[in-house]
Amino acid sequence: MVERVMYDNAVSYVHNVLGAVLREGDVAVDATIGNGWDTALMADLVGAGGIVYGFDIQPVALEVTRSRISGCLATVDLHLQGHEHMARAVDGMHHGHVRAITFNLGYLPGGDKDVTTIAETTEGGLQQAMEILAPDGVITIVCYRHAEGMRELETVRRVLSGLDQNRYTCIEVDFINQKGTPPIVFVVTSKPPEPTSVRIG
Ligand SMILES: C[S@@+](CC[C@H](N)C(=O)[O-])C[C@H]1O[C@@H](n2cnc3c(N)ncnc32)[C@H](O)[C@@H]1O
């Protein structure tokens, strides 16, 4: 029987994408670790031989995430640093080999709502993510629709809609029958370059 995949909300949609993309031994990045749920999922997916880099600007996010991943076999390298600096923090040997990068924007659930991701640094984070992504890698972004979130959403949409369609496929997913203003998911899939044909003779 074919397994039924549920896309109940933005987070489960992203988790399905990560589950489809990440394999044992992969390198992954959680650009906004928050309460560590996405980091823990990525760590489970990449397993003992894999590595997950995580970024957040709040010490509490690193503390909560450290305890959440305590039993994980993967190497988890957490940074108290904005994702706009991720390329410098990720080991050069992993540049071009990062299979999945996830951004869950906004503020820390249960934390200080004034500490939130902002459009300018999110744009910087996206640019850095593109620099280190594998040629067949995926970036997911969950955007919320509070005031700063709307600015971010427009920024993310502008950046992604400008990407070369020969190199990337970018989609935007909206949960159109959910009440209120559910978050929007963007997914960027990088396409490996076509092998160049060689003319003989
Ligand atoms: C919605 S939460 C992330 C939820 C998280 N992925 C989880 O699984 O629980 C957003 C997080 O982004 C963090 N943040 C804000 N600005 C940031 C930046 N420039 N770089 C990295 N993280 C940032 C916030 O501190 C907050 O913890």
107 CA → ligand 1 middle, Å: 6
Query: Domain span at residue 139?
Result: 12-190
Q: What is the CATH number of the domain that holds 174?
A: 3.40.50.150
Q: Does 82 fall in a domain?
A: yes
Pocket test for ligand 1, best of 56, 84, 120 (most atoms within 8 A of CB): 56
CA distance 106 to 197: 45
Q: Does 201 fall in a domain?
A: no
171 CA → ligand 1 middle, Å: 22
Q: Does 38 fall in a domain?
A: yes
Model confidence band, residue 139 (pLDDT cutoffs 50, 70, 90) = very high
DSSP code per residue over 134-151: EEEEEEEEEE--SHHHHH
Model confidence band, residue 192 (pLDDT cutoffs 50, 70, 90) = confident
200 CA → ligand 1 middle, Å: 53
Task: Identify residue 160 by its one-letter amino acid code.
Answer: L
Q: Is 60 in a helix, a strand, or coil?
A: helix
Arithmetic mean of pLDDT, 153-180: 97
Considering the entire predicted model, what is its pTM?
Answer: 0.95
CA distance 71 to 77: 14
Q: Is 72 in a helix, a strand, or coil?
A: coil
Determine if ligand 1 sits within 6 Å of the CB of residue 122.
no
CA distance 52 to 42: 7
Model confidence band, residue 195 (pLDDT cutoffs 50, 70, 90) = confident
Question: What is the pLDDT at residue 1?
Answer: 66
Arithmetic mean of pLDDT, 92-113: 96
Determine if ligand 1 sits within 6 Å of the CB of residue 55.
yes
Model confidence band, residue 147 (pLDDT cutoffs 50, 70, 90) = confident
- Closest to 139 measured CA to CA, from 121, 154, 119, 122: 122
Which structure tokens are listed for 152? 């971010």
Q: Does 198 fall in a domain?
A: no
CB distance 27 to 101 below 8 Å = no
Determine if ligand 1 sits within 6 Å of the CB of residue 32.
yes
CA distance 97 to 51: 11
Q: Does 141 fall in a domain?
A: yes
Number of domains in the chain: 1
104 CA → ligand 1 middle, Å: 6
CB distance 68 to 40 below 8 Å = yes
- Reported as a single tens digit per residue, the pLDDT across 39-58 is 999 999 999 999 999 999 99
Arithmetic mean of pLDDT, 124-145: 97
pLDDT at 201 over 70: no
Task: Return mean pLDDT, the chain.
Answer: 95
CB distance 60 to 67 below 8 Å = no
For residue 78, with 0-12 CB atoms within 10 Å meaning exposed, 13-18 middle and 19 or more buried, which class applies? buried
**Residue nearest ligand 1's atom 26 by CA:** 108
Query: For helices 37-46 and 10-21, what crossing angle results, to 10°?
Result: 20
